[in-house]
A and B are shown apart, each in its own frame.
Chain A
Amino acid sequence: MKYLISQFRLYKHSHSGVVNITNEEKLKYWMETYGKLVFSICYRLVHDYFSAEDLTQDTFLSAYTSVNRFDGKNEKAWLTRIATNKCLDYLKNAARRTQPSESKELELHVGSSAWLEDEYIRNELSKDIRKACENLRKPYCDVAVAYFCEDKPLSQIAKEKGEPLKTVQTRAYRAKKMLRENLKEVVLL
């Protein structure tokens, strides 16, 4: 909280022209302030927890690279627009990738939309994610549980396990790929 307040002050100062904050500080501030919002929008638009995480990362990275083009007026709307754009691209690509035989199943899945209900998001989603993480085979299971359920950054996981960061990153990437499939099945059930 203290961090947030300090970042907010820095931000206000920068807008009043007193202090110039770096783009990295702006990025940190955005992630702390709008991380939940962007992630929720992505999740609600693409209906996939792990793709939503990737899209959230892409959104903030795009915001960071195009910060010079931002007029600084309404950053919430600006970040929402970037996130929407990312989701739209994702949905277009997903539609292109989907085979005709699978589209019926997808429509059925979208039609039920149970996993988008507030009740499900509040109570069941985190349980389903943990379950899916624990069902993965070793060593992906450990990385997935630590990253998605225990909120540990990959560098910390690498340090704790005494393994190179690159190895942990690769495992996390593969785990995410497997989880995407597994969670889809869990939700459909």
Chain B
Amino acid sequence: MIYHVKDNDLNILLKGKLNSKISKKILSHIASCDVCSQRLAELTLQMATLTPPKGMYEEVLNASAKEKSRKKQKDETFTLYCVRVIAGICAAIVLTYSGFFKKLADIDLDMTKVNNASCSISERLYKNLNDFSDTLFNREEKA
């Protein structure tokens, strides 16, 4: 069963005579109920209404124009992103099926040279360290 706020409570709410806790409860119900919001609108119109400053309308229109351009920019950025992703996927498919990666894998790299180079460096390091320790021992013996 759906409960609605009584007119009397809405009137008290509009006159600001409800405590804040109950007001918030009622407001959260009105925020999701068409019947109560319609009733609140009608009761408000029966009371003294206020006219907002006319300049406010211009401010809202300016803000809406900004919002529109921001949304447009966002859409354009998203479209560009989609185009880039699709282009990337297409390029990947073309490269895969054209055998580019296979050709790349077939390139025979002479890795032995690299290994030799690394060995020679380690060997040289090892030799240098040995020489250094020999020199130290010799000096100690002389002393």
Contact = CB atoms under 8 A, between A and B. Distances in A.
Given A27-B61, A81-B30, A84-B30, A110 B20 contact: yes
B52 A74 contact: no
A85 B36 CA distance: 13
Contacts of A122: 48
A88 interface: yes
A107 to B, nearest CB: 8
A8 interface: no
Contact of B50 (A31, A43, A64, A154): A43
Contacts of B34: 74, 77-78, 81
Given A28-B61, A80-B38, A113-B17, A118 B47 contact: yes
Interface of A: 23-24, 27-28, 31-32, 35-37, 39-41, 43-45, 47, 49, 52-53, 56-57, 60-61, 64-65, 74, 76-81, 84-85, 87-88, 91-92, 95, 107, 110-111, 113, 116-119, 121-122, 125, 147-148, 151-157
Contacts of B28: 88
B114 to A, nearest CB: 61
Contacts of A74: 34, 38
Contacts of A52: 50, 52
B30 A95 contact: no
Contacts of B33: 81
Given A76-B38, A80-B41, A85-B31, A39 B51 contact: yes
